[in-house]
Structure 1
């Protein structure tokens, strides 16, 4: 497969603020894989996106050799497998450690998007905002407890769980402004971890949007939804 992939760079269908799409950005850059990125307007999805992901019609999609791979965690594992000779693996070799990493990545996907949506897609002052904030803080505290005193979730190096979670960090400012709380105050170790991911890993620093740009994007979406 790697010989076929060398013929044409993978194509990533993404939206610059998408935590899910930016997972793929980080993984590809961590592996040193050159790729082409095609920006998607999620209000007017391209025919390529809809044909590549006809079930969900969502970013990200990674197209390799003309074949699409969908769903961000699936894409991370595909990148790890397909480009196994390039760089350090995202998932650990030990079966138990791999299972544990998958568990926490699944936990992130179960908790973060739903809590976040209640915070930023609800009218100001709505009960859903407060409920979403409380549930989000609880989830972040649970993740902080799992991180413990380690630099990264798997130990000393950026791994699968870090890549799954850190793309949400640029959204923290938006959650804080709309939800009325501080991630750094509630979860200082997790805030320090997010800063470390960016500071120590070029693949992360080059893949994440500016928090203020995310906030302005969300403000535009809220206006479109009639929430402002």
Structure 2
């Protein structure tokens, strides 16, 4: 088993919502880490550390690689369980529900977001509608799970907050590029307030990517894939 005090390296990118999840988890726990920025050309270390999927993020802790963003978040929560902040709920039912909503988010949001970004074929209108439908369900989930608190996790950022909040920068970038609204105060007022609190949280505000950087990155990726720019 990896020792708690050993050096940690994160193979990831400032532009990746999945890497952002891990960085937020580190910050919540007050842990130091080294971010090794991956580029379009994947490093040999990444290929060796995640030979199955060859994707970021990968946490290397004491020489041992851990893959998949939410699995890394859980690993961090378990290894540093004695810190003041718990990412997953302590109650078994609440913990199961947090995992359920995190999986729902990843089932619905990333494929639709990639279509809107022009990285996958499909109808932009249908992709936007799928995200909006998911957010309306999450609005209801937040009302129930949050129980009047600021976050899904209660008084501070937790598991579901990390799962959804990592996409907020890309939501804003796509809104600016395409001229539509994803988080609409008239439809999801609770999530709009939640999003503002999430982005202002100490664990988040220093690592949330700038919208203009994401827009420029999306343009470069489109150029590499020879995809026409968004209208």
Q: Which residue of 2 aligns with 1:23?
A: 21
Shift of 1:76: 0.6
Shift of 1:142: 1.2
Higher normalized helix content (fraction of residues): 1
Shift of 1:198: 2.0
Q: Which residue of 2 aligns with 1:13?
A: 11
Residue in structure 2 matching 1:81, options 78, 90, 96 = 78
Contact 2:87 2:153 (8 Å CA) reproduced: no
Q: Which residue of 2 aligns with 1:170?
A: 169
Could you give the per-residue CA deviations for residues 41-94 of structure 1, whole angstroms, max 9, x where no partner exists? 0x2000000100000011000000000000001001000001112231101110
Segments of structure 2 that go 5 or more residues without pairing to the other structure are: none
Shift of 1:140: 1.3
Stretch of structure 1 that moved more, 210-219 or 105-114: 210-219
Q: Matched residue pairs, number?
A: 222
Moved over 6 A (4+): none
Contact 1:61 1:70 (8 Å CA) reproduced: yes
In 2: Cα distance, 1:202 partner to 1:9 partner: 23
Alignment RMSD: 1.8
Q: Are 1:204 and 2:209 counterparts?
A: no
Segments of structure 1 that go 5 or more residues without pairing to the other structure are: none
In 1: Cα distance, 2:7 partner to 2:118 partner: 36
Shift of 1:180: 3.5
Give matches, 1:83-162, under 5 Å: 83-121=80-118, 128-148=123-143, 149-162=148-161
Q: TM-score, normalised by structure 1?
A: 0.91
In 1: Cα distance, 2:199 partner to 2:84 partner: 18
In 1: Cα distance, 2:170 partner to 2:9 partner: 25
Q: Which residue of 2 aligns with 1:37?
A: 35
Contact 1:122 1:129 (8 Å CA) reproduced: no
